[in-house]
Structure 1
Amino acid sequence: MKRFAPLAAALLLAGCGGGIYLGWGGGYDDGAPSVSITTAQTSVAAGGVLRVVAAASDDDSGIDEVAFYRVDGSIDTRLGSDGSAPYEWNVLVPADGRTTVSVFAQARDGAGNSASSTLLTVAVTP
């Protein structure tokens, strides 16, 4: 009868609303993190540097990194990433005649989920 004791205990628990959890590690994280981007600058000189700061959070698995991108026409150019808060980056603004520069941040959580901020656009002065 001793061989069946664990099975009997499991059935008893299952019958009264209890259960046995046989999982590995934490729960499953299928939610994307949240991320936003901002700057204190209202304009930046062509060839200058735009300092941006991102805020990112994730309820389940934390933030692994925040990557920063500059939008160049239809191409998103990855500038680099920051792996710890505060998530900050210095964006080099090309001196190519553009009148604005647009950037965004993309956060990736510990489970591999990612999300992008809205686009931040700043005027470029000659």
Structure 2
Amino acid sequence: MSSKAASGDPTTIDQIIEALNSDKSIPDSLKTEISQDLRYKVSVVADLRGKNQELRQQVLGESDESTQKHMDYSSMDKQVLRHIQQLKIYNDLRDTAMKILAIMADQKKTDITAVAKELQVDTTDE
């Protein structure tokens, strides 16, 4: 989802939350809820990354040399994994944005498309 009104793409959670908080059309209680949800998801991802690293060290530390060679990721594998991570983040953010649009549409007693059009938000996946 892209916003024509956005001047730049937020790249960190703090920037996303700052952009969210600056939006006057979203109720403060909803901003707080979304901010807490995003921060929670970031902490879960950090925990999972730590556990992933621990497991990799355990597996690589206990395996023989030939297994280690097969477990090394090529640069292509790393690019694919990074792309998948970015897609997951994008999908989570898109889902959150759609929830916000749905809440706003519900409050205005209209549909999501009308709210998106009013806010100049493109809801198509391209």
Structure richer in strand, relative to its length:
1
After TM superposition, is the score higher than 0.5?
no
Structure richer in helix, relative to its length:
2
Per the normalisation by structure 1, the TM-score is 0.24
Per the normalisation by structure 2, the TM-score is 0.24
Bigger Cα Rg: 1
